[in-house]
Amino acid sequence: MRMGWKRLAVGPYTLHARPKFPRALGRPTRHGAREPNRTISTGLRCDVSSGHHTLLAFVEFFLIWKEQLTDQPKQTPEQIKAAKAAIELFEATFKYNDYAVTRRLVSKDYIQHNTTVGTGQDSVIEIANRECADPATRPIFEYKRILVDGQYIVVHLLIKMRNGTEDLKVIDIFRYENGLFTEHWDSISPIPPVSEHKNSNGVF
């Protein structure tokens, strides 16, 4: 590995990273001169040893997997790939409102079982526009578990509300076929105050 780089592993993926050099200094070359720094936008230079992902998607996946998904079962590379697709769908749609990514990941014939919106691909965008369009009140998604079994992906979430309402515990179930999300079910419940809990186990 090149000097100064750190290897960070997530499942079958390896992230090689080092801090960026200051903009004014750039990188030292073999002859002592400085060349322009090309890592300004992210602060990391990365090589992905398995798969082809955008830098942003991979780094987000890495951080979520490492810091939030601490109760994952052992999974195959294909299961991890499906879990990564679910994270990408949530982050792109509900955090960044990047609907080009939403349309790339969701089938046009998407079957939506959430009865508060229509069906089809745009039903996912409809939820995002309704709940997540305003950065000031956009909820924060915290991933607890992502379970993959065959065509099914189950995402167990804490949604931290920022509009004064109660936080939510959510289970999203997707059918995932040939790299596309094709069907969706969900169960959404408000989390009662701790003072109302009958035990100390928590909801997650």
DSSP code, position 95: I
The one-character DSSP state at 195 is: G
Rg, Å, the chain Cα set: 20
Instruction: For residues 78 and 48, state if they share a domain.
Output: no
124 lies in the same domain as 28: no
- Rounded to the nearest 10 degrees, the angle between the axes of helix 55-67 and helix 77-90 is 100
| Max CA separation in the chain (angstroms) | 69
* pLDDT reported for residue 22: 41
Among 17-21, 55-59, 145-149, the range with the most confident prediction by mean pLDDT is 145-149
Between CA 196 and CA 96 the distance in angstroms is 35
Q: Are 167 and 151 in contact (CB under 8 A)?
A: no
Domain count, the chain: 2
Please indicate, yes or no, whether residues 114 and 151 belong to a single structural domain of this protein.
yes
Q: Are residues 178 and 111 in the same domain?
A: yes
Q: With respect to residue 66, please indicate whether it lies within any of the assigned structural domains.
A: no
Q: What pLDDT shows up at residue 63?
A: 86
Instruction: Report the alpha-carbon distance of residue 45 to residue 38 in Å, rounded.
Output: 9
Residues 112 and 22 grouped into a single domain: no
Which residues span the domain enclosing 159?
74-196
Q: Could you report the per-residue pLDDT of 25-38, keeping only the tens digit for each?
A: 444 545 555 444 33
Count Cβ atoms below 10 Å from residue 117 Cβ, excluding itself.
15
Let me know if residue 165 belongs to a domain. Answer: yes
One domain for residues 82 and 163? yes
Q: Give the pLDDT score at 57.
A: 60
Report residue 112's pLDDT band, with 50, 70 and 90 as the boundaries: very high
Indicate the pTM of the whole model.
Answer: 0.71
